[in-house]
Structure 1
Amino acid sequence: MADTEKTAIAAHLYVSLRRVANRVIDIEWMAQNEEYARAVIKLAVEQGNDELARQALRYQALLNGEQGPARTEAAAPSADTVKKRYIGTLR
């Protein structure tokens, strides 16, 4: 499970770093090499982007053997909210 989660977070870091800093990382190498992963984490945190830093710190928690914070699923909007939002806008 930890390897799957590491790879998933590394993929998110890849996309975010490419968008924010125009940097490309190797996802598989990050999951296999702890030294490379720590360098990528440092790079991500230095960018000053909150989402990027949050993802990097989640990955670092996995490297340290900690269980990352549980992801919370957003509650689905009620049927009334969806109905109000889309009435008159879709044609």
Structure 2
Amino acid sequence: MSGSNDLFGIAAHLHVLLRRKTGRVTDTEWMAVNADYAREIARVARRAAEVDGHAELLPWAEKLEAALQARLEPQRKPLLQAAADTLRAGQVPVTPVPPDTPASPDSKYVGRLR
């Protein structure tokens, strides 16, 4: 099972538990693709576990957060690694401007009427 399928399965299970225990209806597909929404649903599930005593929600909220973290982590590593390598080398990324690039129209216009 891929990470996306795992995340969707966990989201579906948590959706059913939240609907049965608290009456809250969630969007399973959106939970599987939107990290902010998934974090909020996990927070709601944790709150229901603490306040309302629905302890079976807590492990599923943790599973959702772990699956979400596992999905997001591979996307962040290459960018963070490249930034760390650049800083370690003491280089500052600079985008060169070709010498034949004309100046912007705003720099030529000094306030005269045309």
**CA drift at 1:65:** 1.6
Deviations 1:41-81 (CA, angstroms, capped at 9, x unpaired): 00001012221110110010111228xxxxxxxxxxxxxxx
Aligned: 1:26 with 2:31: no
Match runs of 1:1-91 below 5 Å: 1-48=2-49, 49-65=54-70
Based on CA coordinates, which of the two structures has the bigger radius of gyration? Answer: 2
**CA drift at 1:10:** 0.6
Q: CA RMSD in A?
A: 1.2
What TM-score does the superposition give when structure 2 sets the normalisation length?
0.55
**CA drift at 1:33:** 0.4
What TM-score does the superposition give when structure 1 sets the normalisation length?
0.69
Question: Which SS does the other structure have where 1:50 is aligned?
Answer: coil
Distance 2:30 2:62 in 1: 18
For this pair of structures, how many residues does the alignment match? 66
**Quick one: which amino acid aligns to residue 13 of structure 2?**
H
Q: Unaligned regions of 5+ residues in structure 2, if any?
A: 72-114
**CA drift at 1:14:** 0.8
Runs of 4+ in structure 1 deviating by more than 4 angstroms, as ranges, are none
Distance 2:45 2:61 in 1: 6
